[in-house]
Structure 1
Amino acid sequence: MNNLSVWLANVAFTDTRATYAAGSFQGSFNQNTASNGWHVLGNALCSGPGTACTLQVDHGNGRTGADLVGFDLGFAATSSASDESMSCGFTTPVAGDVAAIQRKMLNAVDNYRDVRGAFHIAFSNNGQDEQVEFAISEENLRSFVRTTPREGAIEESVADGTSALLLYPERSMFQKKRRAPIVQREQARHFFNQACQAVYVARQDRAWAHAAHEVTLPSNYAFWLTGSDSKIVGHEVLLGRNVTSVAGRHDWYSSTKLGATGFKMWVDDETGTLLKLSGTNEHGRIVYAIDVSDIQFDRGVALGEFALDEPAGWTNIE
């Protein structure tokens, strides 16, 4: 088992669904909102014929890449960011109430059995402007996600714990992908290695609902809260749910890439899902936003809507 990790330091990498493949690992990753540092993506089985650990990167809807790629880089640390902060020049730990919100966001999939909903996401730096609808059963390891961009083709994905069917209905095309087994390790989600480089270890979602993760497992946004200036600024009700609002300032890397100086996020108190997000530039103009229009938890799902049947007459673009 090999841990696949990518290092991001180039602000030009703005792909929201960069697809990495190595060995038996295939997965999408939002480079646009990822923090500067190492990101541990998952496990790649690299043994046997045709499973050598050679990285392939597919372009999605932006500029895709990685400054460095590594396998088994020894990121099994148990120390937290605050434990390492003094030696790496960071002297102010994350406030305890913000750290609690961050932990809930990083582990949101533990806090509901199923969820369905819809949201709009738009980032001006890379032109992302999409409506996303989703139904997820974490209990049964199933998901359905439909992404409708303002410009471009609709994409759908149906997934279970081992494979995903990607559908392009306007072109009558599809493809199937398999994934490596998930091995969840007890370790810090964010820490610094011996070179004082930040390392981020996001949870892998066994239901494989990647495009929905902006809301349902908002790891990238949770890692933004590592900055010591993040603070809780309010409590309110949004979509009938109790939420906590957190505000902070971007570091140089995210600010340069996103064109924003500050952010505010609204996090569901019970589940850690993200219900609203906005980022503003130095003039106070909103330059990115996520707005959830509907979300329902633990209402039950029909497993029939997660069928991975290949559409008859469609072209397999394997």
Structure 2
Amino acid sequence: MNLLSVSAFARQYDCDNDRDPNMYNCYNSIDGSYAYRSGQRGDWNRDDRLGTSGSYWWVFSGVGGDSADFYAWLANAAFTDTRAEYSANSDRMLTINQNTAPSGWSYVGSNSRPGGVQVSHGSGRTGADLIRVLANDGLTDDDEANQTSSCGQVAPLAPEVAIIQQNMLNAVDRYRDVKGAFHVFFSNNGQDDRVEFKISEQDQRSFVRTTPRGGNAVEETSSAVSSLVLYPERAMFRRSAHTPISHAPSARHFFNKACESVYVRRQDPAWAHAANEITLPSNYAFWLTDSDAKVVGQETLLSRKVTVVAGRHDWYLGTKLGASAFKMWIDDETGVLLKLSGTDDRGRVVYAIDVTDIQFDRGVGLGEFSLEEPVGWANIGLQ
């Protein structure tokens, strides 16, 4: 097990929601609906902001360095946004599924101009708690010290599960392109979506259509530098620029000096959010560390060889999702998640992902990924 400690060359700045006067000089700003809550279990200083629209800002002043890495503290069961968008200087860095994220620090991206961070509402209740900035003065991975950790495990106990976890965390390296569809259901936040996707990792482009049950479809086309989101039923669109990740910790899960878990998700080069629930299943890979996960079988699913992994949730995710146990079906060749099921103590399914169609490396034409804004549609910006 490895522990990455912060180098002496990295300076740390913390900014809570509704600024704590004992922390670094920063301020917060709200655009939309973010209600203040106190006495919250899991939160930093036991308070947070919970939003259902718009954006929440943490604005820093005087942060120097060549670049900075940003981390969000996510440890409250009410944070259920399935696509919370984290941005710096209005450029999107990472999109995090707060609903399935494990408790602890989530890496949300890096930026060469570390002036502030914002989280924007996607779908569900968006949580805003402490943001941590590590400003880098020429910091590289070589400057970070590895040492034995006494904090806990940072990899699954079973060696064969650890290999599967690494495949899941790096699935985008294991195929050139992929297209397909799946259904995702979580009872705790009411998510019930059908997702269709076409992704070219080698060309860094993607198209994802998400259709909620009884709702209107949302279509997102992305490249390495920007995304265009369409709301066809409302004749509206919004565009966002992307911040390339210039520096990120090389370890996916480690403990900081306070023995707090830190989780680092890769940015999909094709920016295929929503589809990444299966095509780059980072959150579900992290579940394998904090459980007694083990391989329970080998099967064939959608004409592909899969390994079945089962485990039990830790207290945080079990309470949040209303589930005690989970089972995953992982594609042996790619690390893609082809099926997921979570059950409560009575054996009832409380969440599930079912892939209905998937095809790898059969070609996806670039003409299918148009980033042209529809004529006559309204530009609504971030919602």
Mapped to 1, the partners of 2:267 and 2:283 lie a distance apart of 12
Mapped to 1, the partners of 2:154 and 2:96 lie a distance apart of 30
As a proportion of its length, which structure holds more strand? 2
Which residue does the alignment assign to 1:111?
174
- Decide whether the 8 Å contact of 1:25 with 1:44 is kept in 2: no
Q: 2:123 aligns with which of 58, 61, 65?
A: 61
- Decide whether the 8 Å contact of 2:155 with 2:289 is kept in 1: no
Q: Is 1:34 the equivalent of 2:97?
A: no
* Partner SS, residue 211 of structure 1: coil
Mapped to 2, the partners of 1:92 and 1:176 lie a distance apart of 38
Q: 1:5 aligns with which of 71, 77, 85?
A: 71
The Cα of 1:56 is off from its aligned counterpart by: 2.1
Query: TM-score of the superposition, structure 1-length normalised?
Result: 0.92
Q: Give CA-to-partner distance per residue, 1:80-138, whole Å, 9 cap, x none.
A: 9xx42xx1155996211000000000000000000000000000000000000000000
Q: 1:240 aligns with which of 303, 308, 327?
A: 303
Q: Which amino acid aligns with 2:322?
A: G
Task: Flag the 1:33–1:93 CA change in 2: closer, same or farther, 3 A.
Answer: closer
Which residue does the alignment assign to 1:20?
86
- Decide whether the 8 Å contact of 2:237 with 2:380 is kept in 1: yes
Which residue does the alignment assign to 2:110?
43
Mapped to 2, the partners of 1:123 and 1:283 lie a distance apart of 17
Range that drifts further, 194-203 or 37-46 = 37-46
Q: Give CA-to-partner distance per residue, 1:227-273, whole Å, 9 cap, x none.
A: 25110000010000000000011001100100000100000000000
Task: Flag the 1:141–1:256 CA change in 2: closer, same or farther, 3 A.
Answer: same
Q: Give CA-to-partner distance per residue, 1:13-60, whole Å, 9 cap, x none.
A: 0110112222254132100000001111212232xxxxx632222222
Q: Which has the larger radius of gyration?
A: 2
The Cα of 1:185 is off from its aligned counterpart by: 4.8
Structure 2: give runs of 5+ residues left out of the alignment: 1-66
Which residue does the alignment assign to 1:310?
373
Query: TM-score of the superposition, structure 2-length normalised?
Result: 0.77
Range that drifts further, 136-145 or 18-27 = 18-27
Which residue does the alignment assign to 1:49?
none
Mapped to 2, the partners of 1:205 and 1:304 lie a distance apart of 20
| Superposition CA RMSD, Å | 1.9
- Decide whether the 8 Å contact of 2:71 with 2:133 is kept in 1: yes
- Decide whether the 8 Å contact of 1:147 with 1:154 is kept in 2: yes
Task: Flag the 1:93–1:152 CA change in 2: closer, same or farther, 3 A.
Answer: closer
The Cα of 1:78 is off from its aligned counterpart by: 6.3
Which residue does the alignment assign to 2:361?
298
Q: Is 1:139 the equivalent of 2:202?
A: yes
Which residue does the alignment assign to 1:231?
294
Which residue does the alignment assign to 1:150?
213
Q: Which amino acid aligns with 1:68?
A: L
Q: Which amino acid aligns with 2:81?
A: D
Range that drifts further, 142-151 or 57-66 = 57-66
* Partner SS, residue 206 of structure 2: strand
Identity, % of aligned pairs?
A: 61
Q: Which amino acid aligns with 2:96?
A: F
Structure 1: give runs of 5+ residues left out of the alignment: 47-51
Q: Which amino acid aligns with 1:18?
A: A
- Decide whether the 8 Å contact of 1:259 with 1:281 is kept in 2: yes
Range that drifts further, 20-29 or 150-159 = 20-29
- Decide whether the 8 Å contact of 2:195 with 2:274 is kept in 1: yes
Range that drifts further, 276-285 or 147-156 = 147-156
Q: Which amino acid aligns with 1:202?
A: R
Range that drifts further, 141-150 or 306-315 = 306-315
